[in-house]
Homo-oligomer: A and B are copies of this chain.
Amino acid sequence: MAEPLLIGILGGMGPLATLDLWQKIIAGTPARRDQDHVPLVVWNVPQIPDRQAALAGRGESPLPALLRAIQQLNALGVSHIALPCNTAHHWYPQLAAASRAPLLHIADLTARHLAAVAPLPARVGLIATEGTLAAGWYQQRLSALGITPLLPERQEMDNQFVPGCYAVKRGELRLGGELLHQLAGALVARGAQRLILACTEVPPALQAVASPLQAIAIDPTHILAQACIDLWLDKRR
């Protein structure tokens, strides 16, 4: 492949989660100098209609704004696109169809990573938005591996997940971290051996409160970062 590698990041959902992906790409890249780092362009225009609200039927669709971002990244000649927002994968088919550059799929990458874990856990907790849970990407992939997915209960979504996630979007990382750590603990108490942090706001929040449950967490943002790094390292070889 003669085309130069240039990763496009379709970000802004929210900005902190996008920053978290990029930070993980930088931290994970073996580099002796600037020029060894992954070439990338970050499209971070957060004025995209709220994904959770749209999927709940309470707001306009983010699809036109997402398609515009896909078009802009392709116009720059990106070779691949990463989407550091699980919920936005609801529109993955339309975005992939509109993009010359292939779109990485965060749940596919996570399932492939999980399949390589030995021994496989029997029960995995999922921390994700209503939209991601309703889409069922993670549950299907876990079930295919013979793993039982454990989901948050209604009141945990209302009292911990949603306020925790929106606190991160406001920059209140500690508050968000405390709420999301409580939710993670409840899933563990119900038998989860590992936790998938399937909303990109969750990893920086758990980090902000130094949650010990990070030790059993599977972080799709980290897996997405590693996929970007691997593409670059393959190219440099």
Write the residues of chain A forming the contact surface with B, with a CB cutoff of 8 angstroms: 6, 12-16, 19, 22-23, 26-27, 29, 31-48, 50, 72, 75-76, 166, 169-171
Set of chain B residues within 8 Å of A23, measured between Cβ atoms: 19
Contact at B19–A46, with CB atoms within 8 Å? no
User: Can you list 19 A-B pairs with a CB-CB distance of less than 8 A?
Assistant: A12-B37, A14-B34, A15-B34, A15-B38, A19-B26, A22-B22, A26-B171, A29-B171, A33-B170, A34-B50, A35-B47, A35-B50, A37-B44, A39-B44, A40-B45, A41-B43, A41-B44, A41-B45, A42-B42
CA distance A169 to B56 in the complex (A): 44
Q: How far is the CB of A17 from chain B (nearest CB, A)?
A: 9
Query: Whose C-beta in chain B lies nearest to the C-beta of A173?
Result: B27
Q: A12-B37, A15-B34, A29-B171 are in contact. List 15 more A-B contacts (CB 8 A).
A: A12-B34, A15-B26, A15-B38, A19-B22, A33-B170, A34-B48, A34-B50, A34-B169, A35-B50, A36-B46, A37-B46, A40-B44, A40-B45, A41-B43, A42-B44
Set of chain B residues within 8 Å of A27, measured between Cβ atoms: 171
Query: Whose C-beta in chain B lies nearest to the C-beta of A51?
Result: B34
B6, B32, B46, B169: the one contacting A45 at CB < 8 Å is B6
